[in-house]
Amino acid sequence: MRKLNFSGAAVSLSVLTTVMGQCILSGEAVSARTLLLQGLPMALALAVISRLLALAEVEQGTFSGNTFCSKLFCLLATLWFGAELVETLGQIQTLCWEQFSSMALVGILPLLLWAGWTLEPGVFSRSAGILWWAVVLAAAICFFSLSGQLHWENLFPEPEMTGPMQLPIYAEFFALPLFFETDGQKSQRHWVLPFAAFLVQALFAFGREAVFGPAHGLQGLELLRAGSIGGIARFDAAFLLVWLAAALFRCGMLVCTLRVLLCRAFGCGEQEVPE
Amino acid sequence: MQLSEHLETNLTALNARLGSSADFYAKRIELYRCRGAIFLFDGMASLESLWELLLDAASRQTPPLLSGQAAPGGERVYQLLWEHSALPAESAPVEDWESLMQRLTAGMAVLLLDGCAKGIAFSVQSLKYRSVEEPSGEGNIRGSREGFCDLLRVNLSLLRRLIRTEALVMEVRQGDCEMKTEYAVCYCKGKASPAAVERVKETLRRARPQMLLDSSYFVPWLFPCRVRTASPVGYTERPAVAAAKLCEGKILILVNGSPSAMILPTLFCENFECLDDYAQPAFFASFLRVLKYGAFYLSIFLPGVFVCLAVYLPELMPPQLLFKIEAAERATPLPLFAEMVVVILLLEVIREAGLRMPQTLGHSVSLVAAIIIGDAAIATGLMSTPVILIAAVASIAVFVVPSLYEAATIFRLLVLLAAGIAGPVGFVTAALAVLLALTRVSALGVPYCAPLPFPKTGISQDGVTRRTYRTLSARPFTIWQKRRKAP
């Protein structure tokens, strides 16, 4: 039976990409204060749940597909990951259409599904490190392009009335042992994933508040657009292209995961392909 | 088929097989009063050596025949010659036709005697071959100037001279092809993975190439796949490089008649390394490697990025640059994307023409291509200067890493087409496809792009940058083990 052996870099890149996508496309602003007061405890609670679930899942073999319960869990996970795939594709399409006036995703989609279905999990793991460097480089350029526009006095204004914040919850948080099947220790180590997601949200929230001030309803994209170095502006496009690559990578990875889950849920025997 | 005891039968059979060949030499002789015949191929074996080493010595030592004593038979003479320590006889007798042909085509002379079903092969080769010269395709400033030549045995001796330990194993086999070409599998015992060596030997044993003219002919058997964008093997014509790779636990395949040695498995990052790297200071070698990586990615992505920006995202360009491109493009009839495709294909045609044609004409072609075509295309307004500049930079940049030429050319066209047709989304998809195409390749269980856990070892000890050779030598590296972090 094919086993998923993604690297930590691949799983974290996949999750953080969709968090970034939400931050970029969403116009709902959460103040930095709310984020710290509500988001931090929520992320902590989520991390603890993730850790405990990972322990239990490893012990019970939840995603092994050997028992009826396990098959049922695989089917449920398939639905959840399927929904995430659709959500990520939606994010990509929104971004492509709004920013590049392109419907190219329609043409790319079959290719993407085929790649995700046929490629080995190791391929995604090996690609993740390189994509991470691209993301970090693009983020660093965007950050430095904002120098001079960050008004730190804008942070933490007078307490305002804001509603409860929503911390994004992804299937990956609760299915860590599925991604690291060949190394059980890895799933124990990656329980901090909800914190990483929180950190990305916090960076966007802090940045928006520092640049635009407390009261605004601008998309995270506007934060990227605000940067400039010398006469060169529009670093947002460079960042969006890198994000797009990471989002396509996430789609491929999700398809790869769905293939394994479907096989386990419906009990189709699949031979592991030697490299 | 076994040889016959009767000399006449053997002679008739050999004449039937090789008699019509102009280079086949057969001569009846008498040794120790026994009838026999020597066979060789003219130009491959030396008659002078054969005379000095065998015939002269044997005729001088022929014992007188006493009255009533019968002349010694073929078996007796065979024994006399076989035990004669001064003769350059091969250690194994020639017993069948296949073995006979093997020896003859290896440049040996074979002696057959009447009354004996075995022959003796004498090492009197005088093969003409290209001398050991510096390979033209792999330049370096420091280190050995020697290059492999075309003869397998000479190449093996060059390797043996460099690795003077019993660890070096060089197994020679005959390929299952029409020409029965010999090849050698070389590895260092204790460093190469025994399982990998066995797998390679077994694969090569089963391979059925129609012809075997170079080690690269084995690639489809070693790594079967429908579309190969990158091969996890490297090639070298330098014995010094080959010896270094053998010491890293890699396996070397040499084929008779080709100076090109195949190294497997090879990592992607090794394409950016050269002999000079280790002779230069670490910081300078690292600087050059970073430049090489930059040049490689430039050669793949630059035309695609240019088309994508100029056609789909002009607002991302600085205004001055955009105005210049716009002015240049206004004067040309073709769209920018089509122009770029035409120029890139034209450059490939020019490169191929320069490579294949006689060297005496090569300079003329380069001159015509560079000055007349380029200048005329711009002057007549068929092509714009920015497009030619970008295509030329991309084409030149790839020569910094010549071993990745094929992959870079295919990837460049793929990225360009995707960017031209689908804009930024197509460009990103093509870039991701390039990344996945490189990372999906692996050989003998070793991934072509080693997994680098982010961000710990993105820049490894001997990867994009390298540490001092003293530090690297403290922990000798083999491809089958993970390099640990230096203290």
**Measured between beta carbons, which residues in chain A are less than 8 angstroms from residue B451?**
7, 122, 125-126, 129
Interface touch B423/A128, C-beta < 8 Å: no
Q: Name the DSSP letter for residue B276.
A: G
Interface touch A234/B315, C-beta < 8 Å: yes
Q: Does A113 touch chain B (CB under 8 A)?
A: no
**Measured between beta carbons, which residues in chain B are less than 8 angstroms from residue A100?**
312-313, 423-425
Interface touch A237/B424, C-beta < 8 Å: yes
CB neighbours of residue B305 within 10 Å: 20
Task: State the nearest Cα–Cα gap between A38 and chain B, in angstroms.
Answer: 30
Of A82, A71, A67, A2, the C-alpha closest to A265 is A71
pLDDT in the model for residue B162: 92
Tell which wins on pLDDT, A8 or B240: B240
Of B167, B157, B212, the C-alpha closest to B191 is B167
Q: What SS3 class is residue B138? A: coil
- A94 within a domain of the structure (yes/no): yes
Task: State the nearest Cα–Cα gap between B54 and chain A, in angstroms.
Answer: 55
All residues at 6 or more sequence positions from B50 whose CB lies less than 8 Å from its CB, including other chains: B38, B40, B109, B122, B124
Interface touch A129/B458, C-beta < 8 Å: yes
- Chain A residue with CA closest to B315: the answer is A234
Evaluate whether ipTM surpasses 0.85. Answer: yes
**What average pLDDT does the segment A70-82 reach?**
90
> Any idea where the domains of chain B sit in the sequence?
7-122, 152-266, 278-447
Q: Name the DSSP letter for residue B89.
A: B
Helices marked H in B357-404: 359-367, 374-379, 385-397
Interface touch A111/B449, C-beta < 8 Å: no
Q: Does A229 touch chain B (CB under 8 A)?
A: no
Residues in chain B, pLDDT under 50? 455, 458-459, 483-487
Residue B36 to residue B114: CA distance in whole angstroms: 6
- Give this prediction's pTM: 0.84
Task: State the nearest Cα–Cα gap between B216 and chain A, in angstroms.
Answer: 21
Indicate the length of chain B as a whole number.
487
Burial class (CB in 10 A: 0-12, 13-18, 19+), A263: middle
Pick from B315, B435, B447: which is nearest to A130 by CB? B435
Residue B461 to residue B473: CA distance in whole angstroms: 11
**Measured between beta carbons, which residues in chain B are less than 8 angstroms from residue A108?**
422, 425-426, 429
- A270 within a domain of the structure (yes/no): no
Interface touch A241/B439, C-beta < 8 Å: no
Tens digit of each residue's pLDDT (9 = 90 or more) over B9-44? 989 988 888 878 888 888 888 888 888 899 999 888
- A162 within a domain of the structure (yes/no): no
- Distance of alpha carbon B199 from its chain centroid, rounded? 20
The Cα angle at residue B214 between residues B211 and B216, in degrees rounded to 5: 105
pLDDT in the model for residue B157: 93
Q: Name the DSSP letter for residue B278.
A: G
Interface touch B428/A245, C-beta < 8 Å: yes
CB neighbours of residue A274 within 10 Å: 7
pLDDT in the model for residue B359: 73
Residue B230 to residue B207: CA distance in whole angstroms: 21
Q: What SS3 class is residue B281? A: coil
Residue A45 to residue A195: CA distance in whole angstroms: 10
- Chain A residue with CA closest to B451: the answer is A126
**Measured between beta carbons, which residues in chain A are less than 8 angstroms from residue B437?**
none
Q: A214 lies in which domain range? A: 8-150+167-265
Pick from B433, B439, B455: which is nearest to A126 by CB? B439
**Measured between beta carbons, which residues in chain A are less than 8 angstroms from residue B427?**
241
Does residue B122 contact residue B50 with C-beta atoms inside 8 Å? yes
Interface touch B425/A244, C-beta < 8 Å: yes
Q: B310-317 — which CB contacts under 8 Å span 24+ positions?
A: B310/B336, B311/B335, B311/B336, B311/B337, B311/B420, B311/B423, B312/A100, B312/B423, B312/B424, B313/A100, B313/A237, B313/B423, B313/B424, B315/A234, B316/A234, B316/A237, B316/A238
CB neighbours of residue B43 within 10 Å: 12
Q: Does A234 touch chain B (CB under 8 A)?
A: yes
pLDDT in the model for residue B428: 94
**Measured between beta carbons, which residues in chain A are less than 8 angstroms from residue B440?**
119-120, 123
Does residue B230 contact residue B438 with C-beta atoms inside 8 Å? yes
Confidence of residue A164 (pLDDT cuts 50, 70, 90): low
Alpha-carbon Rg for chain B in angstroms: 30
pLDDT in the model for residue A232: 65
Task: State the nearest Cα–Cα gap between B199 and chain A, in angstroms.
Answer: 13
**Measured between beta carbons, which residues in chain B are less than 8 angstroms from residue A122?**
447, 451
Burial class (CB in 10 A: 0-12, 13-18, 19+), A143: middle
Interface touch A100/B424, C-beta < 8 Å: yes
Pick from A127, A132, A237: which is nearest to B436 by CB? A127
Q: Does A91 touch chain B (CB under 8 A)?
A: no
> How many separate helices (H) and strands (E) can be counted in chain B?
17, 11
Interface touch B455/A111, C-beta < 8 Å: no
Residue A275 has pLDDT above 50, yes or no: no
Alpha-carbon Rg for chain A in angstroms: 20
CB neighbours of residue B345 within 10 Å: 12
The Cα angle at residue B154 between residues B194 and B405, in degrees rounded to 5: 70
Q: Does A136 touch chain B (CB under 8 A)?
A: yes
Interface touch B429/A104, C-beta < 8 Å: yes
Residue B246 to residue B240: CA distance in whole angstroms: 10
Residue B169 to residue A35: CA distance in whole angstroms: 65
Residue B466 to residue B382: CA distance in whole angstroms: 46
- Chain A residue with CA closest to B453: the answer is A129
pLDDT in the model for residue B372: 73
CB neighbours of residue A115 within 10 Å: 24
Q: Does A196 touch chain B (CB under 8 A)?
A: no
Task: Collect all residues from B whose CB is shorter than 8 A from any CB in A.
Answer: 312-313, 315-316, 318-319, 422-429, 431-433, 435-436, 439-440, 442, 445, 447, 449-455, 458
- A272 within a domain of the structure (yes/no): no
Pick from A119, A136, A248: which is nearest to B429 by CB? A248
Residue B153 to residue B155: CA distance in whole angstroms: 5
Residue B138 to residue A61: CA distance in whole angstroms: 55
For chain A, the three-class secondary structure string (H helix, E strand, C coil) is CCCCECCHHHHHHHHHHHHHHHHHHCCCCCCHHHHHHHHHHHHHHHHHHHHHHHHHHHHHCCCCCCCHHHHHHHHHHHHHHHHHHHHHHHHHHHHHHHHHCCCHHHHHHHHHHHHHHHCCHHHHHHHHHHHHHHHHHHHHHHHHHCCCCCCHHHCCCCCCCCCCCCCCCCHHHHCHHHHECCCHHHHHHHHHHHHHHHHHHHHHHHHHHHHHCCCCCCCHHHHHHCCEECCEECHHHHHHHHHHHHHHHHHHHHHHHHHHHHHHHCCCCCCCCCC
pLDDT in the model for residue A174: 86
- A247 within a domain of the structure (yes/no): yes
Helices marked H in B163-227: 194-206, 219-222
- Chain A residue with CA closest to B320: the answer is A231
Interface touch B451/A7, C-beta < 8 Å: yes
Interface touch A241/B429, C-beta < 8 Å: no
Specify the number of domains making up chain A: 1
**Measured between beta carbons, which residues in chain B are less than 8 angstroms from residue A111?**
429
- Which of A5, A91, A100, A133 to mutate against chain B (most B CBs within 10 Å)? A100
Residue B347 to residue B341: CA distance in whole angstroms: 10
Does residue A170 contact residue A15 with C-beta atoms inside 8 Å? yes
The count of CB pairs under 8 A between chains A and B is 91
Tens digit of each residue's pLDDT (9 = 90 or more) over A93-107? 999 998 888 888 889
How far is CA A256 from each of CA A106, A190, A203, A246, A274, rounded to the nearest angstrom? 19, 20, 30, 15, 16
Contact map slice: A 237-256 vs B, CB within 8 A: 237-238, 241, 244-245, 248-249, 252
**Measured between beta carbons, which residues in chain B are less than 8 angstroms from residue A129?**
451-454, 458
- A186 within a domain of the structure (yes/no): yes
Residue A271 has pLDDT above 60, yes or no: no
- Chain B residue with CA closest to A13: the answer is B454
